[in-house]
Amino acid sequence: TKEMEGNKRPQVHQVIPLMDDIYKILETHRDNIFLDSRLRFAAQKGITLLNKYYAKTDDSLIYRSAMLLHPSYKTSYFTQEEWPDDWITTAKETLKTFWETYYKPKSKPPPQPTKD
């Protein structure tokens, strides 16, 4: 909640960690048998909604790219959060393909020797 107060919005590289934090809190509440069943149900509904939006991050290269390119995260965040290895590999390959397609400098042919 503190991260989202006022007009402050999270930066792109903060979105996935924030969603993960919210998920963990909701999961704890959903699984707490001492809470009223309505609260546990509300937590489950929150998880369902969060999963819907989390899945949408797969449709956009920007979220994973921001994480992979951020000096503090790179792949360590995904490893720490126990993402499956194939998800991490896919994220890296997608970013690499995007870079090669749109940003990698085009190679120039070697200069031709001049005749004197």
pLDDT in tens, 42-91: 999 999 999 998 888 877 888 888 888 898 888 898 899 898 999 889 88
How many structural domains compose the chain? 1
Residue 108 in domain: no
The whole domain housing 48 covers 9-102
Residue 50 in domain: yes
Number of Cα atoms under 13 Å in the Cβ half of residue 48? 6
Per-residue model confidence as pLDDT tens digits over 10-24: 788 888 888 899 999
Query: Does residue 106 register a pLDDT over 70?
Result: yes
User: Which tokens is 86 given?
Assistant: 């194939």
Distance from C-alpha of 40 to C-alpha of 77, rounded to nearest angstrom: 28
Residue 114 in domain: no
Q: How confident is the model at residue 29 (pLDDT cuts 50, 70, 90)?
A: very high
Residue 115 in domain: no
Residue 4 in domain: no
Q: How confident is the model at residue 111 (pLDDT cuts 50, 70, 90)?
A: confident
- The pTM of the full predicted model, rounded to 2 decimals, is 0.71
Residue 28 in domain: yes
Residue 14 in domain: yes
Per-residue model confidence as pLDDT tens digits over 88-103: 898 899 899 988 988 8
